């Protein structure tokens, strides 16, 4: 007998998984229906997205340009289901309220996604994550890299822009007036 242990899961299956185990919090994603279990973040990784989401909240949401979500499931595609769990995202006011799935995951693609480079990521896995977001319709992906103190900005049909500590992160086409120094988000 042959047993195939590769099971294709759906967003509905994913929603049934526990978010805490006896060992602590656990996060998951689906990549073409295959379950990914994500390890916990390091302190630097956690801080880098916390501060960026704070700035999006203060400069974007509180000024009426849109809404910020942290760690929300985003359905990038269906059949097989592809469900991402970025550190954060932003949807502009004109596109609110967002469309959500029966599992309460976002189906409306965010305008901005924040996806931190984690200690377990490779260049190939980060590139794949970014490409999947772009194909799904995300306008901007910010990828903070805490150890290297850079933030890379990705947009459809454009070359990535790498911002160093002395650079200022802006996004005038989505949040007019948004401005924060990279050094303030990724301190040494």
**Domains defined for the chain, CATH in brackets:** 41-185 (3.90.1570.10)
What integer is the mean pLDDT of 160-164? Answer: 98
What integer is the mean pLDDT of 155-173? Answer: 98
- Residues 13-68 have pLDDT tens digits of 999 999 888 877 888 999 999 999 888 888 888 888 899 999 999 999 999 999 99
43-57, 69-83, 134-148: least confidently modelled range: 43-57
- With pLDDT > 90 as the criterion, what percentage of the chain qualifies? 80
Q: What is the pLDDT at residue 49? A: 87
Q: Are 28 and 36 in contact (CB under 8 A)?
A: yes
- Residues 53-71 have pLDDT tens digits of 999 999 999 999 999 999 9
Q: What is the pLDDT at residue 2? A: 40
- Band (5; pLDDT cuts 50, 70, 90): low
166 pLDDT exceeds 50? yes
Residue count of the chain: 188
Determine the Cα–Cα distance for residues 120 and 98; give it in Å rounded to an integer: 31
DSSP codes of every residue in 104-157: S-B-SPPSEEE-PPPTT--HHHHHHHHHHHHHHT-SEEEEEEGGGTEEEEE-TT
């Amino acid at each position: 007998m042959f047993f195939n242990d590769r099971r294709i899961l759906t967003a509905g299956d994913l929603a049934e998984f526990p978010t805490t185990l006896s060992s602590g919090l656990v996060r998951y994603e689906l990549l073409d229906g295959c379950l990914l279990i994500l390890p916990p973040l390091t302190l630097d990784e956690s801080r880098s997205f916390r501060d960026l989401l704070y700035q999006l909240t203060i400069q974007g949401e509180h000024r009426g340009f849109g809404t910020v979500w942290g760690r929300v499931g985003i359905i990038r595609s269906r059949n097989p289901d592809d469900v991402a769990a970025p550190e954060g995202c932003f949807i502009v006011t004109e596109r609110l309220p967002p469309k959500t799935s029966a599992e309460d995951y976002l189906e409306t693609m965010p305008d901005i996604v924040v996806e931190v480079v984690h200690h377990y990521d490779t260049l190939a896995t980060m590139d794949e994550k970014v490409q999947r977001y772009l194909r799904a319709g995300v306008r901007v992906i910010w990828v903070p890299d805490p150890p290297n103190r850079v933030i890379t900005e990705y947009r459809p049909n454009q070359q990535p822009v790498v911002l160093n500590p002395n650079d200022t992160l802006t996004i005038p086409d989505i949040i007019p007036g948004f401005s924060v120094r990279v050094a303030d988000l990724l301190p040494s």
